[in-house]
């Protein structure tokens, strides 16, 4: 009988930690573990990093393979600001990617040196999500806490360091901070925000172990640990993406991205110019309001989330939490064109349309920024919780006019981390591991006729609603 070689891939997301135990040779998922996180509500979106560590321990134990895995890798939510004191303890709760309190600081950073300069240097124009803006917010609003900081980490860095003792990150997750460039940390950008470079972890090369599990951790001491990466970079690895193949991820947030050969640098700020976890690039656009916003509207209407109806001219822009793409951090939701004859099902369908419009509008910009062609015959890979819903699938097909493939494999982020861990044992690049595991296989749905009228109607409403969003309640 073959002796199994097993690795564990971890996804430490906004809401929970998920761990997958995977057979290196076959890609079979042998077991899963999950433990929830606690996120503050209101304007702040924060979590205690020590609870992430507790959730990681619980999720690893729940797989039943923590004592037997040969290698582990941790992927985590991007952009989160983890601040540690000289003893390595959190100074305060971590500010998460979807905390938009730093919008004024992001705007100030762009105003000080210009969007084009930020895009050329860091690949992205800072928004409220970026770690650079969050650090500027912390120094302005909590100077006593900032003065106690001796180290700054991203969420996946923090967990990897707790496992190994090694202060490391990777190029993919680092590229979402606003202070990393292809040649390393940009000291001038760090000076702009007042962050000492010595507070930051080293950037590890892809495909090499960054350390091994220490005694007292949930893993067997000596277990190899990979560098890990950000959640979007891990999902790209987990799907084994080749250049130019676009992905729509439908979760609490919605993202569109593609691996590209060209380095993106979009001065408009629509596209974040991320690096991938290997040697390429991962231009990405992210929306705050995706499945959770549409589900909220379904709940307000008292309807099942798939109880949509065709017809009507109502437009819903479901910006319930502000918005990142388009960059409207102070926006509120908007319903336009409501009629006596509008049905609840049509209103719900309009909410789906509004959410998908934001993603599809950004898709062409994502591919352009990375220098890849936008071929309408290339299927969109649809992943995330929304990909399992018929209303989401049909809306994407109708508004894009493109075929859609639904990978059967779930938990692409954790699979990508598992592929990183497997590569430590086999010497393969992580994306090649995932292609060998055939993680992107799944049913292909044929395109529906493209609904250009709906796309134009939403675009017109968005353009004309600009003054309303500028004056939205809560804008400073």
Catalytic residue among 231, 266, 276, 431: 231
| Confidence tier at 410 by pLDDT (50, 70, 90) | confident
pLDDT at residue 161 above 90?
A: yes
Residue 134 has pLDDT above 90, yes or no: yes
Flag whether pLDDT at 157 surpasses 60.
Answer: yes
Q: Assess whether 266 carries a catalytic annotation.
A: no
Cα separation, 150 vs 201, whole angstroms: 11
pLDDT per position as a tens digit, 24-60: 999 999 999 999 999 998 779 999 999 999 999 999 9
* Largest CA-CA distance found in the chain, in angstroms, rounded: 69
Question: Distance (Å, rounded) from C-alpha 135 to C-alpha 247?
Answer: 30
**H helices within 148-275, ranges in order?**
155-164, 171-174, 187-193, 231-238
| pLDDT tens per residue across span 68-124 | 999 999 999 999 999 999 999 999 999 999 898 999 999 999 999 999 999 999 999
Rounded CA-CA distance 62/64 in Å is 5
Return the closest-CA partner of residue 359 out of 231, 234, 276, 249: 249
**Span 369-404, pLDDT tens digits:** 999 888 889 999 999 889 999 999 999 999 999 999
Give CA–CA dist 235/146, Å, rounded. 33
* Spatial CA neighbour of 174 closest among 48, 286, 271, 80: 80
DSSP state string for 26-48: T--EEEEEEEE-----SS--EE-
Q: What is the pLDDT of residues 415-463, one digit of tens each?
A: 999 999 999 999 999 999 999 999 999 999 999 999 999 999 999 999 9
Phi, psi of 274 (to 5 degrees): -80, 155
CA 300 – CA 404 distance, rounded (Å):
29
**pTM, full prediction:** 0.89
Looking at residue 68, its pLDDT comes to: 95
What does the angle CA 415 – CA 419 – CA 425 come to, to the nearest 5 degrees?
145
């Amino acid at each position: 009988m073959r002796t199994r070689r097993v690795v564990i891939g971890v996804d430490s997301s906004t809401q929970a930690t998920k761990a997958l135990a995977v057979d290196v040779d076959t890609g079979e998922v042998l077991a899963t573990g999950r433990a929830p996180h606690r996120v503050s509500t209101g304007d702040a979106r924060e979590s205690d990093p020590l609870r992430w560590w507790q959730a990681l321990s619980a999720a690893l134990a729940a797989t039943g393979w923590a004592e037997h895995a040969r290698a582990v890798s941790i992927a985590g939510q991007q952009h989160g600001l983890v601040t540690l004191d000289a003893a390595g303890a959190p100074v305060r709760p971590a500010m998460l990617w979807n905390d938009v309190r730093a919008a004024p600081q992001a705007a100030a950073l762009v105003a000080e040196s210009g969007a084009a300069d930020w895009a050329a240097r860091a690949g992205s124009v800072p928004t409220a999500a970026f770690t650079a803006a969050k650090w500027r917010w912390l120094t302005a609003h909590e100077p006593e806490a900032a003065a106690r900081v001796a180290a700054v980490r991203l969420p996946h860095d923090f967990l990897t360091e707790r496992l190994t003792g090694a202060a490391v990150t990777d190029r993919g997750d680092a590229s979402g901070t606003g202070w990393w460039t292809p040649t390393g940390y940009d000291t001038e950008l760090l000076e702009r925000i007042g962050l000492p470079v010595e507070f930051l972890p080293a950037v590890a090369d892809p495909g090499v172990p960054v350390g091994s599990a220490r005694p007292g951790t949930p893993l067997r001491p000596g277990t190899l640990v990979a560098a890990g990466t950000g959640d979007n970079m891990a999902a790209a690895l987990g799907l084994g993406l080749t250049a130019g193949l676009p992905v729509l991820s439908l979760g609490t947030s919605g993202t569109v991205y593609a691996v590209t050969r060209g380095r993106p640098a979009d001065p408009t700020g629509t596209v974040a110019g991320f690096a991938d976890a290997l040697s390429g690039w991962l231009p990405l656009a992210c929306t705050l309001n995706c499945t959770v916003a549409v589900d909220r509207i379904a709940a307000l209407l008292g309807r099942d989330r798939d109880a949509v109806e065709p017809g009507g001219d109502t437009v819903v822009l479901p910006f319930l939490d502000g918005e990142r793409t388009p960059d409207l951090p102070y926006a509120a939701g908007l319903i336009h064109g409501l009629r006596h004859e509008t049905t609840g099902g049509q209103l719900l369908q309009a909410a789906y349309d509004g959410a998908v419009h934001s993603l599809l509008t950004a898709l062409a910009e994502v591919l352009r920024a990375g220098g890849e062609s936008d071929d309408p015959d290339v299927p969109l890979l649809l992943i995330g919780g929304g990909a399992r819903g018929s209303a989401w699938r049909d809306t994407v097909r109708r508004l894009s006019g493109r075929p859609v493939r639904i990978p059967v494999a779930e938990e692409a982020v954790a699979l990508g981390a598992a592929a990183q861990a497997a590569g430590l044992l086999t010497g393969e690049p992580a994306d090649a591991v995932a292609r060998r595991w055939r993680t992107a296989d799944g049913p292909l749905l044929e395109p529906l006729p493209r609904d250009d009228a709906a796309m134009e109607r939403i675009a017109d409403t968005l353009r004309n609603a600009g003054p309303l969003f500028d004056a939205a309640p809560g804008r400073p």
